[in-house]
Amino acid sequence: MRIGVFVCHCGSNIEGTVDTAAVAKATLEFPEVVYATDTMYACSEPGQDGIIQAIKEKNLTGVVVASCTPRMHEPTFRKAVERAGLNRFMFEMANIREHVSWIGKNREANTNKSLDLVRIAVEKLRRDAPLIPSKFSVNKRVMIIGGGVAGIQAALDCADGGLQVVLVERESTIGGKMAKLDKTFPTVDCSSCILGPKMVDVAQHPNITLHAYSEVDSIGGYVGNFQVKVKKKATYVDWELCTGCGACIEKCPSKKNPDAFNEKIGPCTSINIPFPQAIPKKAYIDATTCRQFVKGKCGVCAKVCPTGAIRYDMTDEIVTEDVGAIVAATGYDLFDIKKIPEYGSGTYPDVITGLQYERLLSASGPTGGHIKRPSDGKEPKNIVFIQCVGSRDKSLDRPYCSGFCCMYTAKQTILTKDHIPDSQSYVFYMDIRSPGKMYDEFTRRAMEEYGARYIRGRVAMVYPKGDKLMVRGADTLAGTQVEIEADLVVLAAGAEAAKGAPQLAEKLRISYDKYGFFMESHPKLKPVETNTAGVYLAGSCQGPKDIPQSVGQGSAAAAKVLALFSKDMLESDPQISRVDIKRCVGCGKCIMTCPFKAIKEVEFRGQKKAEVIETVCQGCGICTSTCPQGAIQLSHFTDNQILAEVNALCQS
Amino acid sequence: MNIINLTRDHDEDFVHRVEEESGQKVSLCYQCGNCTAGCPYTFAYDIPVSQIMRLVQMGQKKTVLSSKSIWLCATCESCTTRCPNNIDVACIMDVLRHMARREGLAAVPQVKTFWDSFLDSVRAHGRVFEMGLLINYVTKTGRFWTDMDLGPKILPKGKLALKPHDIQGKEHVARIFERFDRESNS
């Protein structure tokens, strides 16, 4: 092998504490190294041209670049090597920036360590062999999990781009949290007026198949060829026949169930359509409250249904959808305000969440759009809003900012003034976070034009006094304790990962953080990608987001899917595990440990053997350390290569 | 400071009066603290000017009008110049001083006496008669030794005349005072 070594200055990032010229010179002593040089910016165009030129002039067959992390520029250099006519896997990288120059100041020690890292890379490269990726076809259907505004946007953009879309929604209607909102900031336009048309588009789009009241059961396969089992939960109503007329809802005798769509501040019937604009506008029966199921007799809905759609014997059904990509858009849930007992939620009915307040404001809500407090139905005059309830609180293990509460609280003070002109809103805040177009202007308008009284400080306790709630807190700007006699207390409950998010992440084989939010591939440069090929993210499942951000991510995820599907064939990464069939004893340990289900059992001349499914293997290497025979080896990370690297390090 | 009950102790009328008399909108203040940062008198204030603004927003009439700060303000207008929301903070301080005076409040009586002595002098002579002002102020406050060390420096320069020298038409100036009295009483 004829190896070339290129030691990068990275401006002063590396050269500042590493003598790159000395490193380059010393590497010429290493076996099979025939060319070495230092270079200003190896990743720049002249830098890459230098590598290509050296490969051609010196007839190099392998290249080592000592520079930054391979996460940064490995693809760059692989492409450069390929342009010069080499196999792109005949390339190794030594990370002398993150692992050396950025963490140490001693130039001599850094230079020595850099040399060691290059030595290791050279020993690895000497044992590399050219790898050829295999190609496989792509199923150009996409599944969107979650029918909130992010999922709706992703579904519509994909469908408009000509893809077949399968949209899976847990509830009986799409719309998500946005469907529950009255108005939206900072324009104060009606939420259902802007979301409604999009929901109708989903229902009518010829390319979209909607599975409402359904959940993802299991996911198999890999990018381009996923098999998703979707559990269609029993609605006990034949949706083919249901016309959404509402006759059943009118006659249902079980009327006092907490209405989940109205955030449990209003009652609903056991057979129900959550709201008038529901998509699909189909009834479903909640079997936990329905008299037919609980007491075994009733059957009123079956009698009144004009189309005979009621099916008490319906069971859950599993359908399998084959798709090439998946977008997770499962949204968020609210922090449980009962976890802060001093605010009195759960004890006093007039302490409610911001989302419950949205339902009180909404014309389609339980009060018909009149603000009436839950306890006695009176119109409140003094309303206290408390921000950061379950946000920015380490003691509650919620250290993050939920992002949109400052804005919706400001909006709610404005709407309150519009609904009840002689009301007074008070807002306890820690900081006002309004970084968006026309956002800060909006919060200022709440204070300046609508007279909301903002108090910088926290609330210590809420306690009853007559028919009022006393709110005791601090005004740190005035440097004093304050109290307010409130008629209604609205808590800006923080955003949490949606219930069941970690379990879904495990099915999708994507990472999630300690709070259950899904991990993006790169926090800045790959915000809607995940580390699992073919799985993308949109909206609040990745972290709290407001509507514009969620819509933006929905479109972004759709663009990623469309780009993926623009190719008919995909290339798999050839750096995967391979089984040496002569050594394999068919013990099956690798099959058990593989987190990607990428190894299957095969019969070979009457003997059990393991076989790696090339397109599924992600090259993690768990099987190689499990195999008692050393029969399964990860290409370019073989036991021999690792031993050679250790030897190089120990013998230097 | 006592606990403030924001529903009961918020004097909205006071906020409106301050806004009306100053022509400023106090809800514009977002409490950045630029006024206090630049105020050269904070060392002597009992309440920093940004907190005066906050207390005005909160309708805390009594606390504000009993504060020393409003009397110690020299109207240098650093606060006004630096306010990012273009609030004329010095003007608000001035308005608060007037309101305190009307309420019979003067947390720093010497300052009020000085202003009174100064204006009495202008009213009588059409301009200030320094020696008369001095005697008036000292007899009312009993502060005989105030700024006495400056005497030897300014007396030889003729800056402190022993007799008043009225301006021509001082009765016109006096008439301004009369009209002010008449209009503020009506």
Q: Residues B55-113: pLDDT tens digits?
A: 999 999 999 999 999 999 999 999 999 999 999 999 999 999 999 999 999 999 999 99
Cβ neighbours for B141, distance < 8 A, ≥ 6 positions apart: B109, B110, B113
Pick the CATH number of A577-635 from 3.40.50.1010, 3.90.1150.10, 3.30.70.20, 3.90.1310.10: 3.30.70.20
What tokens were used for A521? 């591939």
Which residues pair with residue A133 across a beta bridge? none
Does A69 have pLDDT greater than 70?
yes
**CATH number at A3-126:** 3.40.50
What is the pLDDT at residue A536? 98
Residue A588: count of CB within 10 angstroms of its CB: 14
What is the pLDDT at residue B1? 60
Whether residue B7 and residue A484 make contact (CB cut-off 8 A), yes or no, is yes
Q: What's the mean pLDDT when you consider all of chain A?
A: 96
Does A26 have pLDDT greater than 80?
yes
Whether residue B27 and residue A484 make contact (CB cut-off 8 A), yes or no, is no
**Which residues on B lie below 8 Å from A444 (Cβ)?**
30
Closest residue to A456, CB basis, from B3, B25, B31: B31
User: For residue A473, which of A457, A489, A487, A488 has the smallest C-alpha distance?
Assistant: A457
**Which residues on A lie below 8 Å from B55 (Cβ)?**
478
User: Which of A144-148, A253-257, A445-449, A529-533 is predicted least confidently?
Assistant: A529-533
Pick the CATH number of A141-233+318-331+498-564 from 3.50.50.60, 3.30.565.10, 1.10.3720.10, 3.30.470.20: 3.50.50.60
Domain boundaries, chain B: 12-102, 109-185
What is the pLDDT at residue A459? 95
Cβ neighbours for A245, distance < 8 A, ≥ 6 positions apart: A306
**Which residues on A lie below 8 Å from B58 (Cβ)?**
453, 475, 478
User: Which of A467-471, A569-573, A642-646, B7-11 is predicted least confidently?
Assistant: A569-573
Question: How confident is the model over A127-155, as pLDDT tens digits?
Answer: 999 999 989 999 999 999 999 999 999 99
Mean pLDDT of B31-40: 92
Q: Is the model more confident about A55 or about B149?
A: A55
Cα dihedral B13, B15, B19, B25 sign: negative
User: Which of A282-286, A423-427, A475-479, B21-25 is predicted least confidently?
Assistant: A475-479
What is the pLDDT at residue A249? 96
Domain A334-496 indexed as CATH 3.20.20.300? no
The question of ipTM being above 0.90 is answered as: no
What is the pLDDT at residue A108? 96
Cβ neighbours for A545, distance < 8 A, ≥ 6 positions apart: A150, A403, A404, A539, A553
Cβ neighbours for A3, distance < 8 A, ≥ 6 positions apart: A30, A32, A33, A34, A35, A60, A61, A62, A63, A64, A122, A125, A126
Mean pLDDT of A103-119: 96
Mean pLDDT of A375-385: 97
Residue B181: count of CB within 10 angstroms of its CB: 11
Pairing of strands A632-634, A577-579: antiparallel
What tokens were used for A454? 């903002």
Residue B163: count of CB within 10 angstroms of its CB: 7
pTM: 0.84
Does A112 have pLDDT greater than 70?
yes
**Which residues on A lie below 8 Å from B1 (Cβ)?**
478-480
Question: How confident is the model over A569-591, as pLDDT tens digits?
Answer: 998 889 999 999 999 999 999 99
Question: How confident is the model over A317-367, as pLDDT tens digits?
Answer: 999 999 999 999 999 999 999 999 999 998 999 999 999 999 999 999 999
Whether residue B6 and residue A478 make contact (CB cut-off 8 A), yes or no, is no
Chain B contact probe: residue of A414, A427, A468, A475 with most B CBs at under 10 A? A475
Tokens 């040496």 -> residue: A580
Closest residue to B25, CB basis, from A382, A448, A453: A448
Q: How would you classify residue A186: left for phi > 0, otherwise alpha for psi between -120 and 50, otherwise beta?
A: alpha
What is the pLDDT at residue A65? 97
Domain boundaries, chain A: 3-126, 141-233+318-331+498-564, 247-304, 334-496, 577-635
Tell me if domain A3-126 and domain A334-496 are identical in fold. no
Residue in chain A nearest B32 by alpha carbon? A477
User: How far apart are the CA of B84 and the nearest CA of chain A, in angstroms?
Assistant: 14
Residues of A with CB under 8 A from a CB of B: 382, 424, 426, 444, 447-448, 451, 453, 455-456, 472, 475, 477-486
What is the pLDDT at residue A199? 97
What is the pLDDT at residue B45? 96
Size of the A and B interface in Cβ pairs below 8 Å: 54
Taking only residues 58 to 77 of chain B, the set having a beta carbon closer than 8 angstroms to any beta carbon of chain A reads: 58, 60
User: For residue B84, which of B25, B22, B31 has the smallest C-alpha distance?
Assistant: B31
**Which residues on B lie below 8 Å from A478 (Cβ)?**
1, 4, 51, 54-55, 58, 60
Closest residue to B27, CB basis, from A382, A448, A472: A448
Whether residue A478 and residue B30 make contact (CB cut-off 8 A), yes or no, is no
